[in-house]
Amino acid sequence: MDKIKLNFINRSNDTNNSSVVIFQKNASADFSELAVAWTVIQNCGRLDNHPFTYSLNYQVAAGDSYGNYTPQLTTYDGQAYEMIKSTSGDILQLSPSPATSSAEVEVRNNLGIGAISANCYRDGKLFATKKNLAPGQKAVFEFQPRLYIGVVSQVEEGDVMNSAIISQINTEINLFGISSADIVMTGGGPGESATAFNFTLENINQ
């Protein structure tokens, strides 16, 4: 199994056409690190559904100070990559020395000059980034099979979300051992009868 099939279902009482954001947290980073809006579900009306997939593997790429981006390379835990200057220009390649931890992936800036960004993609969409890595610095990534989901406004896919938004989203969905499941949103509604939005997994297949 290399992908988990997920299906978002809106069973809420929401009348504000709220957007739903789904993101991951870098387990090796400190608490203050910002997260990227990996998936944003928009205009999903009551009883509508939105299928999507979560690939277990992800890709890394790097951007340099000249506005160039390297190809996305499929990565595995324990691997490290290095941005170097070759005869053709800046390239990202697999490092001969592995990551410090077998659970992590590293992206190292081995350029002589110029900061880089280290970017992670899952299912073709940006889900983590570390910017302004100076020469000699590295980004360290570790991801558990967990998603965070919540209702937001004015957030688009690929946006780096600030800590105020992230702190409002405390629903964690553990995908460990799951091959497919529905993510059902309930709650919401107009006026004083409104309740908090709630997200639960249903129709879970191992």
Q: What is the pLDDT of residue 32?
A: 64
Q: Which residue has the tokens 């350029």?
A: 111
Q: What is the pLDDT of residue 136?
A: 97
Cβ atoms of 155 and 21 within 8 Å: the answer is yes
Q: What is the pLDDT of residue 7?
A: 98
What is the C-alpha radius of gyration for the chain, rounded to an integer number of angstroms?
19
Q: What is the pLDDT of residue 170?
A: 83
Q: What is the pLDDT of residue 31?
A: 60
Q: What is the pLDDT of residue 29?
A: 75
Alpha carbon distance 177, 77 (integer Å):
18
The runs of H, that is alpha helices, within 75-184 are 163-168
The runs of H, that is alpha helices, within 48-192 are 163-168
Alpha carbon distance 144, 154 (integer Å):
27
* pTM, 2 dp: 0.93
- DSSP H or E run through 192: none
Alpha carbon distance 101, 95 (integer Å):
14
Please count the helices (runs of H) and the strands (runs of E) in the chain. 1, 18
Q: What is the pLDDT of residue 15?
A: 87
Cβ atoms of 94 and 46 within 8 Å: the answer is no
For the chain of 206 residues, list the mean pLDDT of each consecutive stretch of 10.
94 92 89 86 96 96 95 96 95 96 96 96 96 96 96 92 86 96 94 89 96
Domain ranges of the chain: 3-56+145-205, 58-141
CATH topology assigned to domain 3-56+145-205: Immunoglobulin-like (2.60.40)
- The SS3 of residue 202 is strand
Tell the burial category of 182 from Cβ atoms under 10 Å away from its Cβ (0-12, 13-18, 19+): middle
Closest CA to 44 of 15, 19, 27, 23: 19
Other CB atoms within a 10 A radius of the CB of residue 151 amount to 21
DSSP state of 191: G
Q: What is the pLDDT of residue 80?
A: 98
